[in-house]
Amino acid sequence: MADSRMNDPGLGTPTAPIPNLGASKASIQAHYDREPLFYERFLGPSLAYSAAIWNEPANRDTLEAAQLRKLDWHIDMSGADSGRRVLEVGLGWGSLIKRLMVRRPGLEYVGLTPADNQVQYVRSFAPENFVTEISAWQDYQTNRPFDAIVSIGAMEHFAGKTMDRNGRIEAYRLFFEFCARMLRVGGRASIQVNGWANIAPGSEARHIAESGIDRFWNEGNLPHASEMLLASEPWFNLIHLEGKQRDYIYTLRAWIRNLRRHETDLVALVGSEMFNDYLHNLTVCLEAYVAGALTLYRLVIERKGPVAGLGSVPKG
Ligand SMILES: C[S@@+](CC[C@H](N)C(=O)[O-])C[C@H]1O[C@@H](n2cnc3c(N)ncnc32)[C@H](O)[C@@H]1O
């Protein structure tokens, strides 16, 4: 009989600490440890700092409705709609927690972020069964497996700025190995990340994107779809992969509109330098998307193992 652990390296407790090959804790904190009110004004009440799922025509949709649709999509695709234990990597300002508090109030949830004030903010409204930890995934350990993992808009930070394709694959491999260690067999991870579209190296669109990435995800890097597939295949089967450029274009447009609408308040709150910095960074990122260099990936993968509950192969 085949051993289900064959071609399944990395199970069990890691024997050595997992290195951080991506953005430093200091750069994550510098980016996210800011006044929540600033984010609330431009991200909207959901405080979701990631692309939404828009219905066409987008001008008849709203950012809030589209963010809710996105959260529900990840809840359903990961199995968090029915699983008992759910892990979120990169909890942000708690947008997923708020939705899960409505849909799955009794859930055992654990959420991770290295940014202290995101955790302080989320603890002010999350009940006790929603556990939030100031921790990078690289430092998190548990011996109780999860049924589902959701990670939205965090993987941009998991590979270092100067890494080439092989370096990124190695960085993502460490992340997927971590996910495999956390999940029961058959458990799913639903991941959303900004990534490279398939464009030629050296093209004008690529230059625009490179300067955008530098400003927007400083110290970070973005994946190609093939890199995520290669890095995850030792432990996972593919359930779903999509590239939805328009979802981030519409989201960025809504954020830029919000920034402009609240300019006076926001400048009073954080100063004109930070305000202009955000406006510029979002605009460059939008240009890179419109030029076709970047796209928004949603990846759903399932922890490999024997398929339970379907009985044996019929004989005769
Ligand atoms: C762009 S925000 C997205 C937050 C949230 N998922 C959302 O959609 O609004 C990225 C999040 O990833 C977190 N993050 C970055 N690197 C991380 C790491 N190594 N481990 C865990 N979280 C990380 C950041 O602190 C932040 O909370």
Nearest CA to ligand 1 atom 27: 92
Instruction: For residue 83, report the distance from its CA to the centre of ligand 1, in Å.
Output: 22
Residue 182, in any domain of the structure: yes
* Residue whose C-alpha is closest to residue 247's, from 299, 295, 199: 295
| Ligand 1-lining residues (CB < 6 angstroms) | 28, 32, 48-50, 89-92, 95, 112-115, 118, 136-138, 152-154, 157
Instruction: For residue 266, report the distance from its CA to the centre of ligand 1, in Å.
Output: 23
Q: Do 22 and 174 meet the contact criterion of CB atoms below 8 Å apart?
A: no
Cis peptide before 114 (omega within 30 of 0): no
Nearest CA to ligand 1 atom 14: 90
For the residues of 110-158, what is the DSSP string, one character each?
EEEES-HHHHHHHHTT--TTEEEEE--GGG---SS-EEEEEEES-GGGS
Residue 272, in any domain of the structure: yes
Instruction: For residue 216, report the distance from its CA to the centre of ligand 1, in Å.
Output: 14
Instruction: Tokens for 94, please give them.
Output: 């708690």
Instruction: For residue 119, report the distance from its CA to the centre of ligand 1, in Å.
Output: 11
Residue 236 φ/ψ region, left for φ over 0, alpha for ψ in the -120 to 50 degree band, beta for the rest? beta
Number of CB atoms found within 10 A of residue 220's CB: 22
Instruction: For residue 90, report the distance from its CA to the centre of ligand 1, in Å.
Output: 3
Residue 129, in any domain of the structure: yes
The CA-based angle 286-292-298, given to 5 degrees, is 80
Distance CA 45, CA 43 (A): 7
Amino acid residing at 78: S
Distance CA 91, CA 3 (A): 36
Residue 18, in any domain of the structure: no
Residue 57, in any domain of the structure: yes
- Each residue's pLDDT tens digit in the chain (316 positions)? 333 444 555 456 676 788 888 877 777 777 776 778 889 998 999 999 999 999 999 999 999 999 999 999 999 999 999 999 999 999 999 999 999 999 999 999 999 999 998 999 999 999 999 999 999 999 999 999 999 999 999 999 999 988 999 999 999 999 999 999 999 999 999 999 999 999 887 888 888 788 777 677 777 899 999 999 999 999 999 999 999 999 999 999 999 999 999 999 999 999 999 899 999 999 999 999 999 999 999 999 999 987 777 777 777 6
Q: Which of 134, 141, 157, 222 to mutate to test the pocket of ligand 1 (most atoms within 8 A of CB)?
A: 157
- Number of domains the chain contains: 1
pTM of the model: 0.93
Residue 10, in any domain of the structure: no
Query: Which atom number of ligand 1 is nearest to the Cα of residue 49?
Result: 9
Number of CB atoms found within 10 A of residue 38's CB: 18
Q: Residue 11 is inside which H or E element, if any?
A: none
Residue 189, in any domain of the structure: yes
Q: Are strands 294-303 and 183-196 parallel, antiparallel or unpaired?
A: antiparallel
User: The CATH number of the domain where 285 resides is what?
Assistant: 3.40.50.150
Number of CB atoms found within 10 A of residue 175's CB: 25
For residue 130, what are the domain limits?
Answer: 25-300
Q: Do 153 and 52 meet the contact criterion of CB atoms below 8 Å apart?
A: no
Residue 315, in any domain of the structure: no
Residues recorded for the chain: 316
Q: Do 137 and 111 meet the contact criterion of CB atoms below 8 Å apart?
A: no
